Amino acid sequence: MAITAKINSNNSNRPQRVSVTVPAQQTALNNSDFLLRSLGDVDANNAQDGALLQYRASDRKFVVRNELDTDQGILKLNAGAF
């Protein structure tokens, strides 16, 4: 596919530089192209088998933990109603 442009100008204020951009080809993305650990608010550096995500308010990130920590010592999990 060839893209051409022609500019006609009869005065001294004609363009000094002209550029033409071609839209990038769209590429199909797969779910496997996205990684949870690549997100800016996820710290998954120490991920091990069976780890869970826990929110850490001090830096507003989700961190991978094998043991869940709480300030009050009581951990309540609510996974919703099914």
pLDDT digits (tens, 9 = 90+) for 13-67: 766 676 777 677 777 767 777 888 888 999 988 888 888 888 888 999 998 888 7
First-to-last C-alpha distance (Å) of the chain: 54
Residue 43 makes CB contacts below 8 A (sequence gap 6+) with 56, 61, 62, 63, 64
pTM greater than the 0.85 cutoff: no
Token digits of residue 30: 């797969």
* Identity of the residue numbered 71: D
pLDDT band at 82 (very low <50, low <70, confident <90, very high): low
CB 54 within 8 A of CB 62: yes
